[in-house]
Structure 1
Amino acid sequence: MTCTHCNAVEQRGRYCVGCGKLLPPSLLPARRVRLAPQHLMDDDTQPVLRFDVRPRSPRHEQLPSRVG
């Protein structure tokens, strides 16, 4: 954002680094719908990896008999 008072370029935050005056609030991005019926086109969340995993067959271990 460019400061409207001193024309300093690429200012971030609430105050200008060049003149110290308060910057106007920037435009907020559009709100995302929490429960959308379709996948959003601008979805920038972390992808979820899903693998087709076959369940293992149960393993029965033979316990050694007690000597005693």
Structure 2
Amino acid sequence: MGKIKMKTNRSAAKRFKVTARGKVLHFKAGKSHLLRKKTRKRKRHLKKPTILSAANLSAVKRLIPYKF
């Protein structure tokens, strides 16, 4: 029997992007509604992707094994 391939979690594959150096980018939560009370600066910073923290990296690597 050959090696059994892992399935990629499709929802995670759509939410995370791996850079060329192996870092994981994701978008912050909180940009969909209740925007009136948030400052312009805060909304602007929510637009940009950020690097995933090291604490969550191992969990994401299990979800999207073939992107690394």
Q: TM-score range by the shorter chain?
A: under 0.3
The structure, 1 or 2, with the larger RCO (C-alpha pairs under 8 Å, 6+ apart) is 2
Structure having the higher helix fraction is 2
Q: Which is richer in strand?
A: 2
